Chains A and B, each alone.
Chain A
Amino acid sequence: MSNSKNGSSCSRRTVLKSGAAITAASTMPMFYVKDAWAAKDFRNNPGNASTVKFGFNVPQSGPYADEGADELRAYKLAVKHLNGEGDGGMLNTMKPLSLKGNGVLGKKVEYVTGDTQTKSDAARASAKRMIEKDRVVMYSGGSSSGVAIAQQSLAQEMGVIFMCGLTHSNDTTGKDKRRYGFRHFFNAYMSGVALGPVLEKEYGKERRAYHLTADYTWGWTQEESIKNTTEGLGWETVKTVKTPVGAGDFSQYITPVLNSGADVLILNHYGKDMINSLTQAIQFGLRDKQVNGKDFQIVVPLFSRLMAQGAGENIKGILGSTGWNWALSDAGSQAFVKSFGQEYGFPPSQAAHTCYVQTLLYANACEMAGTFYPPEVIKQLEDFEFDGMGNGKTLYRGADHQCFKDVLVVRGNQNPSSQFDLLEIVQEVPRSKFEYDPAIFGGELGPYEV
């Protein structure tokens, strides 16, 4: 206060008083017309624009690039169907349905795409650009849990909803869950529970398992879940070895398996890593081996048709679990396979399925809420129960934003009837088998308003 020196009237008290008055005045509308303001003012509010923008952030390079490419196809198809183009796909089978096939809340859907490079920092930078520059109301994408978790926490910071694509770590809706993140895909815990009885039936109670595990959040939680399941059956865990993601040549990790006394190799790898490690394991003759008087077996807990395609012959007879398969015969799956196949000339992968469904679910929730205002959309998604999108009746559990739906145990098909018929469904495991208590994985969703 330079004035106070020459004795002017501006005292400390008047400054404080006027300061308080200004603060009170500026916050006034917040108290009295909260709803009117809140419903309008949020990040990337499309307002009166005739279009609304979604962001699709998928790995277009790196070890999960194949999955990313298929996810992108599914997103493009979902946007088409939302805008009332094409044959409508699952809009014809989804129940309950609020979408009208005229975009979302009357606004035509547009989209931007980004490359996560299967790296957390690149994914965050790309997502940030989508939010700040392209002003997307929602973004989505996946294929690595580390990347999904990084994007999900960004979503919470920025107040823009992130619909997870393919991510299978327990942490995504466990210790790292967020109010602004939703996962339709299943998780490693569910894979373990689903695989358990089949492993027991096929391979018995006395087995010695050796794990090779991708060294990041997904690998760790899957190893833990599968280990718990198999040890529950009475199997012994000989060794668990972490391998770097994108290692390429896994041979130095496979050679120690040969003489370890193990008779089952469990590959907690995904995408290109799984294709390489499985191919190399088979080149090293693991499947022709006899150990402890039993045939040596390989298990890949998380499977996809794209990986089966990359691994070719090597996948035959190998057990794993998958979220969805194009051979399912329910109306929703068939409608999706039909429109995807007509568009691209081959059936969709499980990654494509979850991304397509996530886009429709978000759009449907906006339609139900009557606004794009995220807290209202989130409330519509939480505990939303729906059917007709593959996997039977599905619940989006509000407590951890995890979907509960049937999981498939599959086996690499020995005698494929067509070039796409690579996985044979061994068992459909109903969701009631693994409806766990959300508290077991910890974590906090965080606030609605950010």
Chain B
Amino acid sequence: MFLYRNQNKNKCRDMDTILLQLLNGLDKGGAYALIALGLTLVFGTLGVVNFAHGALFMLGAFCAVSFNKLLTLSKKVKDESITFFDAYKEQPYLEIWLGDTGTTIIDWSVPLSILIAIPVMLLIGLAMERGLIRHFYKRSHAEQILFTFGLAIVLQEIVKSVFGANPIPTPAPDIVSGSANLGAALGLGDNLVYPWWRLIYLMFSAVIIAGVFAFLKLTTFGMVVRAGIHDKETVGLLGINIERRFTIVFGLAAVVSGLAGVMYVPVLPPDYHLGMDFLVLSFVVVVVGGMGSLEGAVAAGFLLGILQSFCSLNEIKAIIPGIDQIIIYLVAVVILLVKPRGLMGKKGVMED
């Protein structure tokens, strides 16, 4: 009897572990999918391989950081408890002027910075496309890659010179900084807990992805853009300025990855190198999903996130040591061998 109960308990525990790892994979996948979505959108419409896309994610994260810095502009107050030397505490002006309201605003700075990030990222995206990338449409993919990669490094160095090389912690609002007891809520026992902010991130990414798809599938603008992806010339002959619409799509892609960056800040304190860390990964996601395929990017993002998470399980690492660090690239190799166009790639894309 005891043995049976113990087995039952173990089964329950395994179940929890799998659920947790699945959730973890989904929340990683949410970030991958959001970045890859913008990347593949730009590739599908403008035909540009944009290596500066990771930098857009990083700039989004720094929108949140700058907004937080702006809110916490502080007055220096002498710290009387230090007797050895003159030390100063910082008290934000917002708290001095508004009291508790100020503290609340600062606490909620990350979600609030979404409002700032949307126009800022849209402007950055439009400026980047009109000012720079536009001149590279007729060039080869190799030249586009070289140029956009260079652009990414320039952006990165600018951020480094302004914010320094160290990561900047920017916490989530206090109320959602702990973890949710999902187990109790679902009646599965107390071992199933997950941080609130990561759940919010997952939800957020689902909303954004749904929004982008709705925009492209349900609006006239989206219909024209999709038509343009298929046959740019014919759409142009119909008297539609497709170039202008593609520019807006680039701006949209910048906003999507920028928002992914904003919300990622409480998960991981951003530094100037954040974009590069995600760039390679998001390219793998796009390639696995199929170049230019929106559904493919989303599916591959979640798929790779979940695989990465499950491969970090000790039971799996015991079979193949170090699998957690290479799984993504292994999957990419296998998929490209079996399905050279990726999971949902269409014929004719990047094959001219």
Binding site for B on A (CB under 8 A): 60-62, 65-66, 69, 239, 241, 244, 248-249, 251-253, 255-256, 258-260, 272, 275-276, 280, 283-285, 288-289, 310, 312, 334, 337-338, 341-342, 345-347, 417-421
Contact = CB atoms under 8 A, between A and B. Distances in A.
A285 B199 CA distance: 14
Contacts of A272: 166-167, 269
A345 B169 contact: no
Interface stretch (B122-130, B227-235, B305-313): B305-313
Given A272-B167, A284-B179, 17 more contacts: A61-B165, A66-B166, A248-B277, A249-B28, A249-B267, A251-B27, A255-B17, A255-B21, A276-B268, A283-B197, A341-B82, A345-B87, A347-B84, A418-B79, A418-B81, A420-B82, A421-B81
B351 interface: no
B166 A65 contact: yes
Given A259-B16, A312-B169, A252 B85 contact: no
Nearest to A340: B85
Nearest to B264: A249
Given A244-B325, A419-B89, A337 B84 contact: yes
A422 to B, nearest CB: 13
A420 B79 CA distance: 10
B165 A60 contact: yes
Contacts of B84: 334, 337-338, 341, 347
18 contacts: A66-B166, A239-B314, A251-B24, A251-B27, A252-B309, A253-B312, A255-B17, A255-B24, A256-B17, A259-B17, A280-B195, A284-B193, A285-B193, A338-B84, A342-B85, A346-B87, A419-B79, A420-B87
A65 B277 contact: no
Which of A312, A338, A419 is the most central at the interface, judged by chain B CB atoms within 10 Å of its CB?
A419
B278 to A, nearest CB: 10
SS class of chain B's interface: helix, strand, loop or mixed?
A: mixed
Given A248-B277, A345-B86, A276 B191 contact: no
Contact of A259 (B191, B198, B267): B191
B109 to A, nearest CB: 15
Given A60-B165, A66-B166, A310-B169, A417 B81 contact: yes
Interface string B84-101: 111111000000000000
Which of A252, A280, A288, A417 is the most central at the interface, judged by chain B CB atoms within 10 Å of its CB?
A252
Contact of B312 (A248, A256, A284, A342): A256
Contacts of A65: 165-166
A69 B167 CA distance: 13
Contacts of B167: 272
Contacts of A255: 17, 20-21, 24, 309
A90 to B, nearest CB: 15
Given A275-B169, A345-B88, A283 B178 contact: yes
A61 B167 CA distance: 10
A256 B314 contact: yes
Q: Which 7 A-B pairs have the closest CB atoms?
A: A341-B85, A61-B165, A418-B81, A285-B179, A252-B312, A283-B195, A285-B193
A256 B309 CA distance: 10
Contacts of A421: 81
A259 B13 contact: yes
B295 interface: no
Contacts of A276: 268-269
B85 to A, nearest CB: 3
Contacts of A60: 165
B89 A241 contact: no
Interface of B: 13-14, 16-17, 20-21, 24-25, 27-28, 79, 81-82, 84-89, 160, 165-167, 169, 171, 177-179, 181, 190-191, 193-195, 197-198, 267-269, 273, 277, 308-309, 312-314, 317, 324-325
Contacts of A338: 84-85
A81 to B, nearest CB: 16
B166 A284 contact: no
B106 to A, nearest CB: 14
Nearest to A244: B325
B194 A248 contact: no
Contacts of B13: 259
Nearest to B195: A283
Nearest to A346: B87
Contacts of A62: 165
A241 B321 CA distance: 10
A434 B308 CA distance: 42
A417 B273 CA distance: 36
Which of B14, B17, B87, B190 is the most central at the interface, judged by chain A CB atoms within 10 Å of its CB?
B87
B24 A252 contact: yes
Nearest to A279: B169
B93 to A, nearest CB: 19
A258 B18 CA distance: 11
A62 B313 CA distance: 27
A58 to B, nearest CB: 12
Contacts of B317: 241
A283 B195 CA distance: 5
Given A61-B165, A65-B166, A341 B17 contact: no
A285 B87 contact: no
B193 A252 contact: no
Contact of A256 (B198, B273, B313): B313
Contacts of A289: 190, 193
Contacts of A417: 81
B178 A285 contact: yes
Contacts of B195: 280, 283-285
A330 to B, nearest CB: 14
A256 B325 CA distance: 16
A288 B194 CA distance: 12
B325 A345 contact: no
Contacts of A69: 166
A346 B90 CA distance: 13
